[in-house]
Every structure is written in structure tokens, then in C-alpha cells.
Amino acid sequence: MTSVVIISGQEKGGEVVIFLQIATFPPSKGPEVGKAGMKAMQSPQPDYVKTIGQWVTCAGELGTKFYSIYEVEKGKIEEGFKWIQSMSIPFESIEGLRTKVEILTPVEEAMAMMEMAPP
């Protein structure tokens, strides 16, 4: 399973959904993760998915943490989610790789759902 955070937003007048893919793994697995990453990048990216960026950081006892952020056209959420999920397939056999799924909403939207307005 891949970690995905979903944040709704807008860009250039159209609505988009932001997916944050998160993986943690032991530092000793870095070379394996790198090879799997090269394999994953061979998968063509659909036009309705835009890569915003990728980052890696030290996550203390968790080891290494890797973030990928994608923007998906709102009308293509299911297809975009499936493509992002497919990007994790080359990583499935790596021992110690951990993932989770989180869903986030911008504070303004969450407040509006509770019929509140930001100060």
C-alpha cells in the first residue's frame, strides 16, 4: 500500500487534487529503493497527472522518508490515484518499506464544512 495524502485545491482556474505519496525505509535499503525508483520512473506519466516534486529526508528511527507530490485534474481523480498506486509496485518486495494513507483538506475547506470561517 502507498501513502497518499489528498488535498483539494485550485490552479489556473481549474480544480485539482494534490496527492502526497510517502514511503519510509531503512537507510540500508537505499540502493534497493533507488533501483526500484529508476524502474518506476519508466512508467509513462499521464497528461492529467503533474509531478510537483520529490524529496527525501532522514526520519530518525524510521530511517529514510521519501515524499512525492502529484497534482491530478479533479475529473481524473480515480485514474490519477490508480497511476500513483502503480508507481509503488516496484517497491513492494523491499523489506522494511512502510507506507500509510492520509487524507488532508485545506483548513479553509475544513472550516467551511463545519460552517465556520477562518479569522
Say if pTM beats, i.e. exceeds, 0.85: no
- Chain centroid, CA 86 distance in Å: 12
Q: What would the pLDDT profile of 37-90 be if each residue is shown by its tens digit?
A: 898 888 899 999 999 999 999 988 889 999 888 888 888 888 988 888 888 888
- Work out the angle at residue 59's Cα, subtended by the Cα atoms of residues 58 and 64, and round it to the nearest 5 degrees: 60
Phi, psi dihedrals of residue 49, rounded to the nearest 5°: -120, 130
- Chain centroid, CA 69 distance in Å: 5
C-alpha cell at 26: 531503512
pLDDT of residue 17 exceeding 50, the answer is: yes
Q: Does domain 3-113 have CATH number 3.30.70?
A: yes
Domain positions in the chain: 3-113
